[in-house]
A and B are shown apart, each in its own frame.
Chain A
């Protein structure tokens, strides 16, 4: 069966520091991968999605970037964090050719 992992689970970072969040999927190949952000008590904002290695589409221009160095690995990065980057970051995956998305456990980021 398929499993999605995210780490770290929680992270406290100072303003201006870099960020790297990692997401990996097991038990499938060539998945569609997604990064979402969810502010406290709010909805889901799609940040990036990828349909293959090196293929990244951005939905919202901001100080974040994403990379997919391996088939089942998706990384969310920032060179300099802002206070407004504090949020719950969720990775999701879907089978190629299917619409259903499955979410990872999320990373709770607090920028101070």
Chain B
């Protein structure tokens, strides 16, 4: 089955800095890669996703890049703000399975 590794487990940045979270996956058949943000005590919420036919996707301060050859994808947050503090989860889905494999999560702390 698919295996997703996520790093780092904790990331601490100063407000205004950029943050990068990286995930690697094992199955080359994976073709859908969502990212979720989970604030303390809340549900995970989809913030951005990318499919394997696209190399990069942006949404305001958030971007995701995908390297199919190396089988890794990354979340980039620019100009971080304290409200970006949360746990971020990456996931990978094999085409047609609809069962994502999640990474273990990254706790992002943005210091004012």
Contacts and interface: CB of A to CB of B under 8 A. Distances in A.
A103 B98 contact: no
Contact of B100 (A51, A101, A104, A106): A101
B102 A90 contact: no
Most chain B CB within a 10 A radius of its CB, from A99, A101, A103: A99
B102 A49 contact: no
Contacts of B104: 42-43
Interface residues of B, number: 18
B98 A32 contact: yes
B102 A103 contact: no
Contacts of A46: 99
Nearest to B107: A41
Contacts of A51: 98
Given A49-B99, A99-B32, A44 B89 contact: yes
Interface residues of A, number: 18
Contacts of B99: 46, 49
Nearest to B104: A43
Interface string A88-112: 0010001000111111111000000
Contacts of A44: 44, 89, 102
Contacts of B42: 105-106
A3 to B, nearest CB: 13
A100 B44 contact: no
Given A32-B98, A43-B103, A44-B89, A100 B34 contact: yes
Interface of A: 32, 42-44, 46, 49, 51, 90, 94, 98-106
